[in-house]
Chains A and B, each alone.
Chain A
């Protein structure tokens, strides 16, 4: 990610989000926070057990894995693409971690295995980015194929049985230990990942080119940016986030569960959309994504605490997504006029 003088100015020129749109984004974030607080209020009134430290930390813990996935997906969506493979991909990374790090398989030292998992994440991301940018395969198709491939691989590698990390007693601490009392480490990791994502998206070329490519790929290319190479880097970034999510999830469950993950990509995409990032690309709202992930976890948790039937939980989430997408299209129409 070189900060070449000409490409920096190019990025600025191409990416210039008009002030009205940026103001719209700020408004969106406040509306989102407002919605989250409203939810908190409703659930607090409905049940005394909702607003306890223990439950809030439970909500944040549940939001962590989805949130990390959503932050990675944010980069891909900013380019106007989509990543359907994050759910099963996350599972595959947790499986690969088990394969490398447990004595039942390769038995490498676990820290080494964790590092290698991240590296493999980057490589897989580069590959998918290659499929999208050089092979010109639409992101939807390429990541759909990846989704099925990773799911199959997870089941094949593990013979469909969960792989446990019990021999490494400290591994659970990554997600469920409490460096800060009452706050699970996974939440801290989520916070750090969010800061990294914000920095990458706003202060480095990976993020700014992602937005530039999403808003006008042709113009970006014409101004001298190698859009194909940068698309690969963008997907690489997204997949490293997915690998991190896989490691955190494996730590929380102290195992790699090969059947898991199907459908998680939709939750991640929902968090991104609710957060204000447009599916059409050209804009990214990292803060919004974080709030979006927490909002969905809050909704799930609150409804479960109230003992509301599973079916209604799904409908509630669907309504939230519809409202968010509708808000997005209203905003886009206003910006266009």
Chain B
């Protein structure tokens, strides 16, 4: 085989391989997640089409949101597609997916923005094509979405702050491992916690570090915070990946004694940590409900019904005393 032929052939194979794997990667997987629909690919149900672009697949949280959405699709009659970027810092990829969804002319779009500003042009396009936009989870900072289906992240984080005060008192210092400075959830949870602490107590915020939802970065950041602040009394992580990293670092340094440790969301790592005392507790959202109510609201908007501007899907603080309670267990995922 001549050089050129061999090179073309090789490039072709690699290209085909890459494309097929990328295609597999882009669509959500059928396996995994608790219960929910059996959808073998990206869509479920039949009826008006709703394109859902979430913030990713990288945490079990989104899988549960998808399950709730697919369940609503089956029950209420809608054709729902679910997609999301590889990581929660892949703003560009998410914008691309939104573009693709728009080109399919769905009857409604549901969107959880990684970066509200960057998404505006496409959302304006949706609005002028008269495609209702439902914001969920992070929401979007704009008037375009007809409704936002989300946890009140600030209130949920405030709940964690109240628990922190119960555990450590009103004096001393606490730290925060936040997951993002650009996504609304990251900012709202950080501020919800910090604002409550600063307004109501004499506790100082020793430091705030960001994990970008990377467990290893969260571990190293927590490590540094613990080294720098030897008399820290409490620490709070704003999502699952940050919490896992936080707990890993505390274990490594053997600093659990005298430290109140709180997290956010769930996942097997956190549940195990709470059960064996490495964490005091965590605040969970109701991801299943978020997915379900998003589809429900989208259908209402498609049918021209009045929708509330905000649908609050609730949150719960859980620790080892109540995590087995039915109502709370339902929102937890492994």
Q: Are B216 and A249 in contact (CB under 8 A)?
A: yes
| Mask: chain B, 11-48; 1 = CB below 8 Å from A; 0 = not | 10110011001101100010111000000000000000
Majority-rule SS of B interface residues: helix
Q: Are A148 and B18 in contact (CB under 8 A)?
A: yes
| Mask: chain B, 189-226; 1 = CB below 8 Å from A; 0 = not | 00000000000000000010110011110011101110
- Alpha-carbon distance between A52 and B10 when the two chains are bound, in angstroms: 53
Residues of A within 8 A of B251 (CB): 176
B269 CB-CB contact with A under 8 Å: yes
One of A52, A148, A184 near B227 (C-beta < 8 A): A52
Residue of A nearest to B215 (CB): A257
- Alpha-carbon distance between A47 and B219 when the two chains are bound, in angstroms: 21
Residues in B64-92 with C-beta less than 8 Å from chain A: 86-87
A135 CB-CB contact with B under 8 Å: yes
- State how many angstroms separate the Cβ of A311 from the closest Cβ of chain B: 8
Residue of A nearest to B10 (CB): A135
| Mask: chain B, 309-334; 1 = CB below 8 Å from A; 0 = not | 00000000000000000000000001
- Alpha-carbon distance between A73 and B330 when the two chains are bound, in angstroms: 46
Q: Are A135 and B223 in contact (CB under 8 A)?
A: no
Q: Are A253 and B219 in contact (CB under 8 A)?
A: yes
One of A62, A156, A158 near B25 (C-beta < 8 A): A156
Q: Are A152 and B29 in contact (CB under 8 A)?
A: no
Q: Are A62 and B223 in contact (CB under 8 A)?
A: yes
Residue of A nearest to B220 (CB): A62
Give the interface segment out of B55-63, B138-146, B161-169, B289-297.
Answer: B55-63
| Mask: chain B, 235-260; 1 = CB below 8 Å from A; 0 = not | 00000010011001001110000000
Residues of A within 8 A of B210 (CB): 310
- Alpha-carbon distance between A52 and B224 when the two chains are bound, in angstroms: 12
Interface size counted on chain A using CB atoms at 8 A: 51
A204 CB-CB contact with B under 8 Å: no
B3 CB-CB contact with A under 8 Å: yes
Q: Are A155 and B221 in contact (CB under 8 A)?
A: no
Residues of B within 8 A of A260 (CB): 214-216
Q: Are A152 and B33 in contact (CB under 8 A)?
A: no
Q: Are B11 and A137 in contact (CB under 8 A)?
A: yes
A202 CB-CB contact with B under 8 Å: no
A329 CB-CB contact with B under 8 Å: no
Residues of A within 8 A of B253 (CB): 54, 58
Listed in ascending order, the chain A residues whose CB lies under 8 Å from chain B are 47, 49-50, 52, 54-55, 58, 61-62, 65, 131, 134-137, 141-142, 145, 148-149, 151-153, 155-156, 158-162, 164, 166, 176, 184, 249, 252-255, 257-260, 262, 300-301, 304-307, 310
14 A-B contacts, Cβ less than 8 Å apart?
Answer: A47-B228, A131-B10, A135-B11, A135-B13, A149-B21, A152-B22, A153-B21, A156-B24, A156-B25, A257-B215, A259-B86, A259-B213, A304-B221, A304-B224
